[in-house]
Amino acid sequence: MGKMMASETKLPPVLEIIRGNIVKHGNPLAMKGSEVAAWAHALKLPEHGDLLFYTGGEYQLLPFIDSLVSTMTHMDQGSKVFSLMMGARNIINKTGINAEKIYASVLAKDRERFNSISYKAAIILQKLGYDLCYAGKKELYSGALLSELGFCEDMESYALRVAEVLKQSRAKTIVCLSPHAAEVFKFVYPKLVKDFPYEIRTFVDLVWEKRHRLPAIKTDKTVVIHDSCRLARELEIDEELRDILQSVGVPVREAMCNRQWTTCCGGPNKLLFPDVSHTVATRRVEELEETGADLILTSCPYCLSALQGGQGKDTKTEIEDLIEFLFRGFEA
């Protein structure tokens, strides 16, 4: 088992479940590759090409992860129900049944919406003239959580598995939907994988390069950007978001804390401190709402989910991913 520290450490159940599922099944919820890749069936993307479209399953899996965290956080971990749920994990090798996945699936909200974001992103890039390939059911999660949570031994071996799948695509460039995946590919993988020759790009900067080909978006809503910390700080992508919105004719209002000085969405605390995460998210939503904007836009699945969780019951401010917002222009 991968260790967070040299000494024996008892891990919170949520971390242990997610770590084990990533290592054994290639994603945090042990979902089948065919389930994670279901969004792409209608597109019939080739498996080989120069530009690999990489989702890592992050948008698709996020609602299920949120439900799992919520369930296990609020469940009495000394209860018989919890014990049975954890015990059920032992039958996965024999039956293929994952108790956490089933339980989370029942409670998951917005799964259709999150699943469609990958589809919309691919359509946008195709409309802009990019030829995409996609690993389909072979695609594995990037392992970013293993790296971020300090499971170094697991990450070293897992990175080699992911690198082999990437190699099979014959791609020269990888375009990542999630800034977490882009960060780990750009900064961590070259240290763990001997031959990792890819150019790592994000959806945002590919769109930015061809922003003048984007259709205008007619809307009466005022917009404020929540800059993802991974995108703005580690990947240094922030002005590009504003350029894109200017290209589609949408003015942007600025929050007091923006660009590389953005305020945390609360997402990083969710696994261990969900109450703290909710408080941080609520404060960030309030900061963004103080601009008077009608719509909050972000470009990270974890930010999108965390900020939605921080909304008050009576708030009228909407929250969308940039992908969803830009797709409107191609629907008109």
159-212 pLDDT, tens per residue? 999 999 999 999 999 999 999 999 999 999 999 999 999 999 999 999 999 999
How far from each other are the two terminal CA atoms of the chain, in whole angstroms?
51
Q: Structure tokens of 220? A: 């009466």
Instruction: Return the residue matching tokens 């790296």.
Output: 147
Q: Quick check: helix, strand or coil at residue 224? A: strand
pLDDT on residue 98: 59
pLDDT in the model for residue 82:
52
Task: Reply yes or no on whether the pLDDT at 298 is more than 50.
Answer: yes
| Whether pLDDT at 240 is above 80 | yes
Mention every residue, 6+ apart, whose C-beta is less than 8 A from residue 159.
Answer: 143, 188, 189, 192, 193
pLDDT at residue number 1 = 45
**CB neighbour list of residue 318: distance below 8 Å, 6 or more residues apart:** 221, 294, 295, 296
pLDDT value at residue 78: 53
Residue of 123 and 60 predicted with greater confidence: 123
Share of the chain above pLDDT 70, in %: 81
Contact present, 159 and 143 (Cβ < 8 Å): yes
At 316 the pLDDT is 80
- For residues 112 and 189, the model is more confident at 189
145 vs 177, higher pLDDT: 177
Residue predicted with more confidence, 224 or 18: 224
pLDDT at 203: 97
pLDDT tens digits for range 19-37: 888 998 999 888 889 989 9
Encoded amino acid at 126, one letter: Q
- Tell me, what amino acid is at 23? V
Percentage, residues of the chain above pLDDT 90? 52
The pLDDT of residue 305 is 86
Give the pLDDT of residue 108.
58
Contacts of 84 (CB under 8 A, 6+ apart): none
DSSP 8-state symbol, 263:
P
Tokens coding 165: 């799948």
Please report the sign of the dihedral spanned by the C-alpha atoms of residue 170, residue 50, residue 228, residue 262.
positive
Other CB atoms within 10 A of residue 19 CB: 20
- Contacts of 189-194 with C-beta under 8 Å, sequence gap 24+, read 189/159, 189/162, 189/163, 192/155, 192/156, 192/159, 192/160, 193/159, 193/160, 193/163
The rounded Cα 304 to chain-centroid distance in angstroms is 9
Higher pLDDT, 331 or 122: 122
H helical segments located in 4-151: 13-25, 33-36, 58-74, 80-88, 92-95, 99-107, 111-127, 144-148
68-102: b (≥16 Cβ within 10 Å) or e:
bbbbbbeeeeeeeeeeebbebbeebeeeeebbbbe
Q: In terms of C-beta distances under 8 Å and separation of at least 24 residues, what long-range contacts does 80-84 make, across chains too?
A: none
CATH topology of domain 210-331: Rossmann fold (3.40.50)
Q: DSSP code of 188?
A: I
Sign of CA dihedral 63, 69, 70, 76: positive
Q: Confidence band (pLDDT; 50, 70, 90) for 331?
A: confident
Start-end of CATH 3.40.50.1860 domains in the chain:
210-331
pLDDT of residue 158: 97
Average pLDDT over residues 264-270: 75
